[in-house]
Every structure is written in structure tokens, then in C-alpha cells.
Amino acid sequence: MLSDHARKLLRILFNCNRHDSTKMDYLLLLQMSQRDLETIMDALTELQQADYIEWDREAGVARVIYAFEPGPNNWRNKYR
């Protein structure tokens, strides 16, 4: 299970760049998530380790692979 910070950042990344890789604007992520930079970097690392995103740290580019957490608690699974 993802932490709340990682889950919120995943939703922000998915909504900002639906299907394409994009250069991340850390100031925009700070504003949208209302978290500090250290928390954002920790959440990005968590998302990358859990294979939810591909993240190139040097280029500052991220691509969302999985936008939602799998599992019985996901409301999307109730309507399939």
C-alpha cells in the first residue's frame, strides 16, 4: 500500500500528464500537493520503487505506469 503522500502525488502526476512523459516542475508539485520538497522526493522514490512511475532524476522526467492501486479497496473494482 502506498503512503498518503505518494498516493496524492500519483494522482497529481496522472492528472497533469495523462499519457506522456513530462518534465516535472517541482515548484508546481510543491504548490499542488502542499508538501515540502523532501516529502515529494520521498514519495517519488516510493512510487518508483513500487513501479507506479518511471522517473529519470537527472532529466526530471516522470511517466505514470499505473495510475491506481490494485486491490479490493479500490472503488473501481466494485463496478467491473
User: Taking the model in full, what pTM does it have?
Assistant: 0.76
Q: Which of 12-16, 21-25, 39-43, 58-62 has the highest mean pLDDT?
A: 39-43
Residue 21's domain comprises 4-79
- 65's CB contacts (< 8 A; 6+ apart) are 51, 52, 53, 54
Number of domains the chain contains: 1
CATH number at residue 55: 1.10.10.10
pLDDT average, residue stretch 11-28: 76
Predicted confidence (pLDDT) per residue in 39-72, tens digit:
999 999 999 999 888 888 888 788 888 777 766 6
For helices 26-33 and 37-49, give the axis angle rounded to 10 degrees. 100
pLDDT of res. 62: 80
